[in-house]
Amino acid sequence: MLRQVEGSKAVADAVAACSPEVICAYPISPQTHIVEGLSALVKDGSLKNCEFINVESEFAAMSVAIGASATGARTYTATASQGLLYMVEAVYNASGLGLPIVMTVANRAIGGPINIWNDHSDSMSQRDCGWLQLYAENNQEAVDLHIQAFRIAEEMSIPVMVCMDGFILTHAYEQVDIPTREEVEAFLPPFTPRQHLDPADPVSIGAMVGPESFTEVKYLAHQRMIDSLRKVQEVADDFERHFGRKTGGQLRSYRTEGADTIVLALGSIIGTLKDVVDELQLDGHSIGLVGLTSFRPFPFHALAEALKGAKRVVILEKAFSTGTGGIVTSDVVRAIEGMGIKDFTVIAGLGGRPITIASLREYLTNAMQENVERLTFLDLETETIEKELSKERALR
């Protein structure tokens, strides 16, 4: 049933429909409404057989999740920004132990300077942590990705981050269909852990692994991550069979047929970019769009396939590696190696700066002529920058 509802509330209801047994969270903007919603559902009894733990930090949130998941409970938490960084040690531990925890990251910038608004620097900082990362384009996809995430995580024994743009999605009211618990149950079987803490069959989990085995343990994790690529697609296809919606999966192409220029992006900006592509095509430009849903695992083959025939790809990123440039770009470049496709990167929307259609049109019009630098910061106030730089250089 379609409901006009806030993104966070929709996600809370979707997570509840997945019948988690342990939810633990520490509040941080813009994640708060999700866990507030879930705490109410547990408190009023509509989410049964579930423990909601108010912890004293994000580090504890992920740690509680680790203990719960290792005991065989379906476990959920949510965070953002500084909170994600504060739990990083446990984030790596969860994937290292192969615990299928699902976590929402309500994407927000990382300080300093402190900034509560949206970009992707938080989840991108966790690129290599061994978790899957799925990015939602809109609130319907955010809802659907959470339901898919539990199934992917539990079938692969890998934790999954569902990344949704803070405020832009979490606080936006949209029409969303939230499946009922019965509908979800038909899609998502009960959690059967591969291994769990059980006095009847005691195992030691988390032993110290030395140089003689560490590489093999890490290689197996690498292989499992690669194998999960197929699972991401499989689960999205099965989701479509159950719910009639094409959401999730590895990536989705939009009007890329015969396009010379293809823009690639993640998250909610895809919606804006679809409008820009529509406008530019109306003006006779040869341009299309690829929305990347699965950043980890990275769909190298599917992306090469999606970009085949294009002359150039423009990667729009809401985060970057200081002193280097695009983060997603480095993977894209590997995917298109030897295909003769030129790559351009545009960094946009940092710390919540609005990405306007006008700015995108101007930038893309130039990019289609290859009349841009390989790395561009959209709407950069060059005058301010020049003034600051000349002052700094004078001091050196």
Partner 1 sequence: MSTTQIKFYQVGSFAVGNRLLREDERSVQSDPERTNALTSGHRACQGCGEALGARYALDAAMRATKDQLIAVNATGCLEVFSTPYPESSWRVAWLHSLFGNAPAVATGVAAALKAKGNHTTRVVAQGGDGATVDIGFGALSGMFERNDDVLYICYDNEAYMNTGVQRSGATPPAARTATTQAVGSKPGNVFGQGKYLPKIAMAHDIPYVATATIADLRDLEAKVERAMTMHGSRYLHVLVPCPLGWGSASCDTIKIARLATQSGLFPVFEAINGEVVASSKIRKKVSVEEYLKLQTRYSHLFSPQRNDDVIDHLQRIADKNIERYELMED
Given the complex with partner 1, which of 189 and 206 has the nearer CB atom?
A: 206
Distance CA 148, CA 188 (A): 8
Given the complex with partner 1, which of 9 and 74 has the nearer CB atom?
A: 74
Contact code string over 213-242 relative to partner 1, x by CB under 8 A: x-----------------------------
Please select the residue that binds partner 1; options are 6, 13, 21, 317, rule is CB under 8 A. Answer: 21
Q: Using the structure block, give the residue that is written with the tokens 């934790």.
A: 159
Task: Point out which span in 49-57, 229-237, 310-318, 379-387 binds partner 1 (CB under 8 A).
Answer: 49-57
Given the complex with partner 1, which of 203 and 380 has the nearer CB atom?
A: 203
Task: Point out which span in 117-125, 146-154, 206-214, 349-357 binds partner 1 (CB under 8 A).
Answer: 206-214
Distance CA 377, CA 5 (A): 34
Distance CA 101, CA 158 (A): 7
Q: Using the structure block, give the residue that is written with the tokens 């900034």.
A: 115
Q: Which two tokens stand for residue 316?
A: 């729009």
CB of 337 to partner 1, least distance (A): 37
CB of 131 to partner 1, least distance (A): 16
Task: Point out which span in 47-55, 107-115, 261-269, 334-342 binds partner 1 (CB under 8 A).
Answer: 47-55
Which 8-state DSSP code applies to residue 142? H
**What is the sign, positive or negative, of the torsion defined by CA atoms of 146, 148, 152, 155?**
positive
Q: Strands 375-377 and 342-347: what pairing?
A: parallel
Distance CA 101, CA 74 (A): 7
Residue 209 within binding range of partner 1, rule CB under 8 A: yes
Given the complex with partner 1, which of 70 and 235 has the nearer CB atom?
A: 70
Given the complex with partner 1, which of 66 and 290 has the nearer CB atom?
A: 66
Given the complex with partner 1, which of 50 and 306 has the nearer CB atom?
A: 50
Question: Using CB under 8 A, which residues numbered 178 to 197 contact partner 1?
Answer: 197
CB of 57 to partner 1, least distance (A): 6
Q: Which two tokens stand for residue 269?
A: 């900006």
CB of 176 to partner 1, least distance (A): 27
Question: Using CB under 8 A, which residues numbered 129 to 158 contact partner 1?
Answer: none
CB of 24 to partner 1, least distance (A): 7
CB of 43 to partner 1, least distance (A): 15
Least Cα distance to 346 among 289, 274, 264 occurs for 264
CB of 198 to partner 1, least distance (A): 6
Task: Give the amino acid at 358.
Answer: A
Site size for partner 1, by CB under 8 A? Answer: 44
Helices 139-156, 214-243: crossing angle, 10 deg rounding: 130
Least Cα distance to 233 among 289, 127, 305 occurs for 305
Task: Give the amino acid at 48.
Answer: K
What are the start-end ranges of the H helices in 244-326? 269-282, 300-307
Least Cα distance to 89 among 53, 110, 61, 121 occurs for 61
Which 8-state DSSP code applies to residue 190? P
Task: Point out which span in 19-27, 128-136, 165-173, 300-308 binds partner 1 (CB under 8 A).
Answer: 19-27
DSSP 13-33: HHHHHT--SEEEE---TTTHH
Given the complex with partner 1, which of 195 and 286 has the nearer CB atom?
A: 195
Given the complex with partner 1, which of 134 and 153 has the nearer CB atom?
A: 153
Given the complex with partner 1, which of 76 and 135 has the nearer CB atom?
A: 76
The total of other beta-carbon atoms located within 10 Å of residue 56's CB is 8
The total of other beta-carbon atoms located within 10 Å of residue 342's CB is 14
Task: Point out which span in 112-120, 203-211, 263-271, 303-311 binds partner 1 (CB under 8 A).
Answer: 203-211
Question: Using CB under 8 A, which residues numbered 66 to 105 contact partner 1?
Answer: 66-73, 75, 89-90, 93, 97
Helix (H) / strand (E) containing 255: none
Task: Give the amino acid at 2.
Answer: L
CB of 143 to partner 1, least distance (A): 23
Please select the residue that binds partner 1; options are 208, 282, 358, 395, rule is CB under 8 A. Answer: 208
Q: Point out which residues bind partner 1 (CB under 8 A).
A: 21-22, 24, 49-51, 53-57, 59-61, 63-73, 75, 89-90, 93, 97, 197-199, 201-210, 213
